[in-house]
A and B are shown apart, each in its own frame.
Chain A
Amino acid sequence: MLSLRSTKERPYKVIVAKLGLDGHDRGAKVIARALKDAGFEVVYTGIRQSPEQVARAAVEEDADVIGVSILSGAHIHHVKALIEKLRELGAEDIPVVVGGTIPVVDVEELKKMGVRAVFLPGESLRKIIDLVRRLAEEKRSTGAKG
């Protein structure tokens, strides 16, 4: 049987989510668009998403990476809930990255929770895209082993 897999047929899928009540979606939309231009399939959830909704979307879409944007300061609370939900749904293998107005001391706490990367305002798009791609590649290759 021929091997029919290639990433053009199955591009990396990224959820770009705005958790919580914060309405500042400029960054999330710019990143969503940049990822699309870089060949990703992007599911943008819109604003005012609960951790449940985001986890559910990631599971249904079988996403390779989840990107969360929060500029309301409620990142610790919401991301913790998201990671918990992902675990409940058996999706703890989906890497989570976070962007927003986040003090350095919170960056460390987020990483301890399992967040793979935290992006502060001003981060270069190229860096973000490269990292997301690397995380997606890693997730798929470990996934193949089951």
Chain B
Amino acid sequence: MDPNSARLLATGFAVGLGMIGPGIGIGVLVNGALNAIGRNPETAGTIQTNMILGIVFAEALGILAFVVSVMLGLGIFGGAA
């Protein structure tokens, strides 16, 4: 495998594998939030704000994977762009 195709594969894998964790995390988060809203609909506003906060923290990990993928794609870690 020549280095360039390895780099392209890594670009895809970095973001593809890196998004699995945040995806599961966001699913669990929304599950919990919807359960809470279903049990106690009056607090929906507060729960939604906190849910979005939690989603954002989980998503931050996915963004890190995306940044690594972009850096690989631009050839910052080596290999021709």
Answer yes or no: are A and B bound together in one complex. no
Residues of B within 8 A of A (CB): none
Residues of A within 8 A of B (CB): none
